Structure 1
Amino acid sequence: MTTTVAAYAVPAPKAPLERTTIERRAVGEHDVLIDIAFAGICHSDIHQAHEGWGRAVFPMVPGHEIAGVVAEVGPGVTGFAVGDRVGVGCMVDSCRTCDNCRAGLEQYCDEGPVWTYNAVGKDGRPTYGGYAKTVVVDENYVVRVPEALPLDKAAPLLCAGITTYSPLRHWNAGPGKRVAVVGLGGLGHMGVQIAHALGAEVTVLSQSLRKKDDGLRLGADHYFATSDPATFQSLAGTFDLILNTVSAPIDFAAYFSLLRTDGAMVNVGLPEEPLEVDIRALGGRRRSMSSSGIGGIAETQEMLDFCAEHGVAAEIELIGAERINEAYERVLSSDVRYRFVIDTATI
């Protein structure tokens, strides 16, 4: 049996989103039914809806920043109860048996995770995301939202928060470390807050100084414009870690020059087109370039608890569902500070 719920979907590549209905599976033995309260709009949603990352599954219900309340649990569920405040991020299943899954790195599952939307679940049905009234998810892929975090501001943490937290933790951002965050957008504004809360010395590298006041308020110690060539001269050999949050082409060689010996540049923005990198620019100081996905389920819970403890949350603009298409256009124009969140009561 299935349940029909209201949702907003993309009917075809690059088409406007429209209100529709979708079918959610019945609550199984280990499933949690969540009444979605808020769903963040991630730039990834737009990439997928526009088929910027390759062929996609339509109709598509985007949304992998989901916060809500448990409405029903299956008879085998032990970790959640009706009324709990919970969240769902970018994945809703994985193989659970490969080395990565067993190590709590489900995001790197050898068989590939089952993504929250634009994927096919183990039941052979398309997955639909959070631009909807409800969602049914296996309890192993649900996380608890601490009481200290408002649900609307917690929703973007399920992608933007963990996408920046995971590499900052992995590359040991903390006291005595100099961290640069490239870009102060949906990802970057979370990276700045988290790096600051971890105790690192934080610098924002942005095209202009337009958002400098915001960057400093969010926890940055320094703010530089990358459009000024003097920035790269004055900061040469400065950083232990550069977290690149933008998905547009940049001059990688110029940014590599900002790394100290053994420094790393980690990319979390995903461009739609391949980018050229001159590997010779890494030579001389054992610098490295890497990437990072989201985090595993345990690390996502760790991130939420960390954010609650340190007062870290997304800065959002709350919108009704009728404004989703407008929000997409504004994201593409960089006209949001810093994350749109849909009030799903309006769906």
Structure 2
Amino acid sequence: MHTLAYGTQEKSASLSPVQFTRQPVRAGEVEIEITHCGVCHSDLHQARDDWSNTVYPCVPGHEIIGKVTRVGDGVSKFSEGETVGVGCMVNSCQACEACRRGEEQYCSGPKSCTLTYNGPKIPDGTNTYGGYATGITVREEFVLNIPDAISPAEAAPILCAGVTTYSPMKHWNLQKGQSLGVAGIGGLGHMAVQIGKALGASVTALTTSADKSDLARELGADTVIVMSDETALKDGARSLDMLIDTIPYAHDITPYIKLMKPGGVIALVGNFIEMPAFVPADLVFHRLTLAGSLIGGITDTAEVLELCAEHGIRPQIELIDMDGINEAFKRMEGEDVRFRHVIDMSSLKSRRDELTPEASEIAAPNRGDVTG
């Protein structure tokens, strides 16, 4: 499958047209023509090598919606023409303890799970390419049905932002009537507020931007605390059972710790970079858990899609053309997005003939194999 995409070949470069050939569908695989792809803050971090692990060329995108165009032998769950989704993974060993319990993101097989993009595998080291592209081929087990109630553009961010915030709520057993804090009201946080409300929690939005207060309440937040408001922080002390921290950069965790009830859980889902030093006394004296959570497995992703369909939970999106991606990255860096860009991939397909001659040819992507 000849594929046109946008990617970058070094961390200082803007995203630009590239092309490559995906190999034919094999048994158990599903070929998908991509119609929409969400723009995640992780895409920006990965393209810029902020985590010092990027393999170039890098084609981002792990919030993928599209139409099935071909299925391989043995595929039984999907057929041509269906609208489907692909999230942050395209394969795993399917045999280890984590995979058997539906947490493929923690696969402990010989090569771990294969990420949708930037998923190089030893020994060959070739990369995987993501959803800023016209098409993708994925193992059947990592393709998701999209409920009819959710539009393709709105479904895209649920595959990352939705499941990344739902998964820790499920794992640490958020109960109806408990108090949930959401730190950072951006792409992940605005989904966490809505999901927490749907699960029956009382939700407190925690933001450094006072101008997001009304937006947070519109999303369903019962309370909003602006983190510069010392009185509000004092009044909110020891009020939260659980906190989902979506902030994607290093930040002082101390003010958030002081908001937690004894026995509470703080789940970090946004910050992969560093944690500034803090005094752990409150963790000890109040038996708090400071934990992390990585995306979610396929079961959790299917569950959150159904939850969003049932409760009318939708991401707030701004649809963009593919050639607007570099401007979208700049706006994301400046926190000028309410709350998620989604690429209309028809804008790339419509320019196929125009772009193909000038698009850089890059190596064929890794197939996502995890065995052998």
TM-score calculated relative to the size of structure 2? 0.90
Which string of whole-angstrom CA distances, capped at 9 and with x for unpartnered residues, describes residues 289-346 of structure 1? 1010111111111111111111111110000011000000000000000000101111
Q: Is 1:310 the counterpart of 2:311 in the alignment?
A: yes
Which residue of the partner structure matches residue 49 of structure 1? Answer: 47
Which string of whole-angstrom CA distances, capped at 9 and with x for unpartnered residues, describes residues 32-84 of structure 1? 01110000110000111111111311111100000111111112101111111
3-state SS, counterpart of residue 322 of structure 1: helix
Which string of whole-angstrom CA distances, capped at 9 and with x for unpartnered residues, describes residues 183-215 of structure 1? 100000000010011110001011132011111
**How do 1:95-106 and structure 2 match up within 5 A?**
95-106=93-104
CA shift in 2, pair 1:78/1:123, >3 Å? farther
**How do 1:281-300 and structure 2 match up within 5 A?**
281-300=282-301
Which residue of the partner structure matches residue 73 of structure 1? Answer: 71
Q: Distance in 1 between matches of 2:133 and 2:174?
A: 36
Deviates more, 1:121-130 or 1:6-15: 121-130
Which residue of the partner structure matches residue 269 of structure 1? Answer: 270
Which residue of the partner structure matches residue 351 of structure 2? Answer: none
**How do 1:131-150 and structure 2 match up within 5 A?**
131-150=132-151
Which residue of the partner structure matches residue 110 of structure 1? Answer: 108
Q: Is 1:243 the counterpart of 2:244 in the alignment?
A: yes
Percent identity for Structure 1 against Structure 2: 43
Name structure 1 gaps, 5 residues minimum.
none
Which string of whole-angstrom CA distances, capped at 9 and with x for unpartnered residues, describes residues 249-276 of structure 1? 3332221111111111111012423432
8 Å CA contact 1:241–1:259 kept in 2: the answer is: yes
Q: Is 1:181 the counterpart of 2:179 in the alignment?
A: no
- How many corresponding residue pairs? 345
Which string of whole-angstrom CA distances, capped at 9 and with x for unpartnered residues, describes residues 141-195 of structure 1? 1111100000001101111010001011222223210001011000000000100
Query: Which amino acid in the other structure matches residue 291 of structure 1?
Result: G
Which residue of the partner structure matches residue 334 of structure 2? Answer: 333
Which residue of the partner structure matches residue 365 of structure 2? Answer: none
What is the CA-CA distance between 1:133 and the residue it aligns to? 0.5
Q: Distance in 2 between matches of 1:249 and 1:7?
A: 31
Q: Distance in 2 between matches of 1:62 and 1:275?
A: 28
Query: Which amino acid in the other structure matches residue 149 of structure 2?
Result: A
8 Å CA contact 2:252–2:275 kept in 1: the answer is: no
How large is the RMSD of aligned CA atoms in angstroms?
Answer: 1.4
Query: Which amino acid in the other structure matches residue 162 of structure 2?
Result: G
Q: Distance in 2 between matches of 1:248 and 1:30?
A: 38
3-state SS, counterpart of residue 59 of structure 2: coil
Which residue of the partner structure matches residue 204 of structure 1? Answer: 205
8 Å CA contact 2:32–2:68 kept in 1: the answer is: yes
Q: Distance in 1 between matches of 2:122 and 2:297?
A: 19
8 Å CA contact 2:250–2:271 kept in 1: the answer is: no
3-state SS, counterpart of residue 33 of structure 1: strand
Q: Distance in 2 between matches of 1:121 and 1:23?
A: 19
3-state SS, counterpart of residue 163 of structure 2: helix
Q: Distance in 2 between matches of 1:253 and 1:203?
A: 17
Q: Distance in 1 between matches of 2:308 and 2:254?
A: 33
Q: Is 1:13 the counterpart of 2:11 in the alignment?
A: yes
Which string of whole-angstrom CA distances, capped at 9 and with x for unpartnered residues, describes residues 106-148 of structure 1? 0101142100001125995421000000000000011111000
8 Å CA contact 2:250–2:275 kept in 1: the answer is: no
Deviates more, 1:142-151 or 1:262-271: 262-271
Which residue of the partner structure matches residue 366 of structure 2? Answer: none
8 Å CA contact 2:91–2:114 kept in 1: the answer is: yes
Which residue of the partner structure matches residue 352 of structure 2? Answer: none
Q: Distance in 2 between matches of 1:275 and 1:114?
A: 30
Query: Which amino acid in the other structure matches residue 256 of structure 2?
Result: Y
Q: Distance in 1 between matches of 2:199 and 2:53?
A: 38
8 Å CA contact 1:174–1:195 kept in 2: the answer is: no
Q: Distance in 1 between matches of 2:322 and 2:310?
A: 31
8 Å CA contact 1:317–1:337 kept in 2: the answer is: yes
Q: Distance in 2 between matches of 1:59 and 1:249?
A: 27
3-state SS, counterpart of residue 166 of structure 1: helix
Moved beyond 3 Å, runs of 4+:
121-125
Q: Distance in 2 between matches of 1:236 and 1:250?
A: 19
TM-score calculated relative to the size of structure 1? 0.96
Q: Distance in 1 between matches of 2:277 and 2:95?
A: 36
Which residue of the partner structure matches residue 223 of structure 2? Answer: 222
